[in-house]
């Protein structure tokens, strides 16, 4: 894996991290606004707000996990381990890293993880 490719992936990961942080910050301010806007409401309004809260929490949890994956990928770049499968230690193909820059498993290991009893 060339240094140029790794630098390209680092730039992409940094941009992804910034975008996610901006989105999480925006979502949290929207969440605070929803809490502040809650007053005396009927049960339908309360149920709708509850659904909106749960949806926002689920989105934030997913994005927080993605942010953690991005941070881990950046750490692997800095310690020279980026692009190697955490299970089999083989190089992850550049095509996979271009698609998912924070991938930690090669396609074979990822497929084996998703299909029980395989591998």
Q: Mean pLDDT, the chain, as a whole number?
A: 82
Q: What is the pTM of this model?
A: 0.72
pLDDT, tens only, 12-25: 999 999 998 888 77
- Measured from the Cβ of residue 73, the count of other Cβ atoms closer than 10 Å reads 25
Range 32-61 average pLDDT: 60
DSSP state of 38: -
What's the rounded Cα separation, in Å, for the pair 6 and 118? 31
pLDDT, tens only, 63-98: 888 999 999 999 999 999 999 999 999 999 999 999
């Amino acid at each position: 894996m060339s240094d140029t490719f790794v630098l390209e992936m680092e730039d992409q990961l940094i941009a992804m991290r910034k975008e996610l942080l901006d989105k999480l910050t925006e979502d949290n301010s929207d969440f605070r606004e929803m809490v502040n806007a809650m007053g005396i409401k009927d049960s339908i309004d309360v149920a709708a707000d509850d659904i909106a809260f749960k949806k926002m929490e689920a989105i934030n949890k997913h994005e927080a996990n993605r942010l953690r994956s991005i941070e881990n990928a950046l750490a692997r770049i800095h310690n020279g381990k980026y692009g190697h499968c955490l299970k089999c230690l083989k190089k992850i193909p550049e095509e996979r890293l271009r698609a998912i820059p924070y991938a930690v498993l090669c396609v074979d290991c990822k497929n084996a993880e998703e299909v029980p009893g395989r591998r």
